[in-house]
A and B are shown apart, each in its own frame.
Chain A
Amino acid sequence: MKRVIQMFIAVLAAAALCMYATARINHLQGYSSGNTLTIYNWGDYIDPDLITAFEEETGIKVIYETYESNEAMLTKIAHGGHSFDIAVPSDYTISRMIEQNMLIPLDHSLIPNLKYIDERFLDLSFDPGNKYSIPYFWGTVGIAYNREMLEGKEITSWNDLWDESLRNQILLVDGAREVIGMALNSLGYSLNETDPEKLLEAQQKLFDLVPNVRAIVGDEIKMLLSTEEAAVGIVWSGEAGAILDENPNLDYVIPTEGSNIWFDNMVIPVTARNVEAAHKFINFMLDPENAAQNTLYVGYSTPNWAAMEYLPEELINDERFYPGREITDKLELYENLGKHNQAYYNELFLEFKMHRK
């Protein structure tokens, strides 16, 4: 019994020591409740040097936490317990967060650099008047393919994916909206279609695609394409940019039938404790030079027209990643279809995943 109590005390003492040390380290690094800014962002989605620069410029300490899906972020913010000052959700998630009163309206007078954002990317359906959100990066959904492995065959449209020469060569992304949206686009429908008949038609078309599908995966798609595990993959343009640099055989195309245009926007969730610092951070990231530096690091397309001046010519003239207005006008945002339609999409997608060759 004495031994047990001794051990118990030892464990408690060790725990107390750890807690004290953590508090002490935080204090030494200048973290205190008044001057910290907690950023909740996608993994590897900011140039760390910019965080340091922001800390030096403002004296605010930044805590950086990451998530890997909009849903995971949403769940964590909805359940409280974390004081995130900034988050970077995608378009359709933003409209959901607005609906559920999870965002604090922005004070545009504190964000003068907003004038640098291309007006094409402002005042969009998911957040009219940009009351709650400011564009961070944008892009498209398209097809990445390996020219070498396809022996020169070119891919330009979604319908090319159904070609018999692509047996067991396609990697799909594990997302209901993306995959069903692709099938809808290939049939000439909107990717926000809610007519059950057209959705079932899209599902039937997807069943026909099954022999060509090698796997349905998540982020691993980048690695699998660049190591030539498969020849074709459905990817977001930003990821495509990264793997095109790694493997020169790869190419990226925005399909002719149309596709999705997406945005990741900066927002201030209701969990924020330091709203003032959050505004400062948003304004800081919109500064053209900072935006250019971040773009070069992250590799996604910037919505900041003034930043273009600081970016290499061949990058901003690349129609694959900076498509002109005639192409972006054809692209559609994912609209928030409501819980019921979203559930129906998921059900159809689940059935597709269970469909065997």
Chain B
Amino acid sequence: MERIRNLFLVPYGVWLLLFVIVPILMIGYYSFFDIDGVLTLNNYKRFFSPTYFSMALRSFWYAALITVVCLVIAYPTAYFLTKTKHKQLWLLLIILPSWMNLLLKTYAFIGILGTHGPINAFLGVFGLAPRQILFTDFSFILVAVYIFIPFMILPIFSALEKLNPSLIEAAYDLGASHWVAFRRVIFPLTLGGVKSGVQAVFIPSLSLFMITRLIAGNRVITLGTAIEQHFLVTQDWGMGSALAIFLVIAMGLSMWFTERGRRVR
């Protein structure tokens, strides 16, 4: 029986090896070669040059900003969602946009945020237009939050759903105010959901690329943009791989931090 069970693991084991482990090893391998195919540590040295290092810092800054904005909007949304009558309908409405192709949504935003778009037309009614919205930090954060927010709402929502209501009632019975009950009971008990949400938003935000060009007009340059450039334009696979390795490490670290926090509790 034991042997048969192991046999069932073979297909996925092969998959894991071919499409997860081997590619990561290959990226690691490529990262030690320069454009002439000579073995070198230069790519890693270049990462710590001012250009790439400040790019990395900016990537982290924008990813953090996107995550915080998502969290601030998503938590109350998820909370009120648990109180509504037609939960499934509301959830569907939140997930619905993510069924639409990302490129289409991004192009739609170019039109919406443009100088002659509906938002500026609306602002014009109050004499505030035309303002430049497209190609600013604001538009970049806005669109990124729009894309990622379902991935923040869903885990928080399911954590809140699982929360035993009698615990909250007990808090009120023991004299806790709404705020204290939230801070001391509800929030700590749903922290797991928050952490999954943060991971689901922060990690892909780090390597965003397409919308940095379409919505931010390349005014925001993230590590994802640089990797895309090195693989497709410069053909400097070594540098692209070195950047990818740094992203993998950064993601691993952010996973480790959030997981460690969870265990301490």
Contacts and interface: CB of A to CB of B under 8 A. Distances in A.
Contact of A215 (B36, B54, B218, B221): B218
Interface string B115-135: 110000000000000001011
A21 interface: no
A145 to B, nearest CB: 16
A339 B237 CA distance: 12
B110 A220 contact: yes
Interface stretch (A36-44, A197-205, A271-279, A343-351): A343-351
Contacts of B232: 69, 71-72, 75
Q: Which of B55, B134, B219 has the most CB of A within 10 A?
A: B219
Contact of B221 (A171, A217, A346, A350): A350
Interface in A204-241: 214-218, 220, 223-224, 227-229
A354 interface: yes
Interface in B133-159: 134-135
Interface residues of A, number: 30
Contacts of A176: 233
Contacts of B35: 339-340, 343
B116 A217 contact: no
A229 B51 contact: no
B98 interface: no
Interface string B71-115: 000000000000000000000000000000000000000100011
A228 B214 contact: no
A353 interface: yes
A32 interface: no
Nearest to A339: B35
Contacts of B110: 220, 223-224
B234 interface: yes
B151 to A, nearest CB: 27
A75 B36 CA distance: 17
Contact of A354 (B55, B234, B235): B55
Nearest to A351: B51
A71 B232 CA distance: 6
B213 A218 contact: yes
Q: Is the interface of B mostly helix, strand, loop or mixed?
A: loop
Given A217-B214, A218-B213, A229-B116, A343 B234 contact: yes
B229 A215 contact: no
B235 A217 contact: no
Contact of A228 (B115, B218, B221, B229): B115
B218 A346 contact: no
B226 interface: yes
Interface string A323-357: 00000000000000001101100110011011010
Contacts of A55: none
A290 interface: no
A354 B221 contact: yes
B135 A346 contact: no
A338 to B, nearest CB: 10
Contacts of A127: none
Contacts of A218: 213
Given A215-B135, A217-B218, A346 B233 contact: yes
A168 B226 contact: no
Contact of B235 (A168, A220, A339, A353): A339
B132 A339 contact: no
A137 to B, nearest CB: 22
Interface in B213-247: 213-214, 216-219, 221, 226, 229, 232-236
A168 B134 CA distance: 12
B72 to A, nearest CB: 26
B238 to A, nearest CB: 10
Interface string B42-54: 0000000001001
Interface of B: 35-36, 51, 54-55, 110, 114-116, 132, 134-135, 213-214, 216-219, 221, 226, 229, 232-236
15 contacts: A71-B232, A71-B233, A214-B217, A215-B134, A215-B216, A216-B213, A220-B110, A220-B214, A224-B110, A224-B114, A229-B115, A343-B234, A346-B229, A350-B51, A353-B218
Given A216-B218, A229-B115, A339-B235, 6 more contacts: A75-B232, A174-B218, A215-B219, A229-B116, A339-B35, A350-B51
> What are the nearest 4 A-B pairs in CB distance?
A215-B217, A216-B218, A215-B135, A346-B234
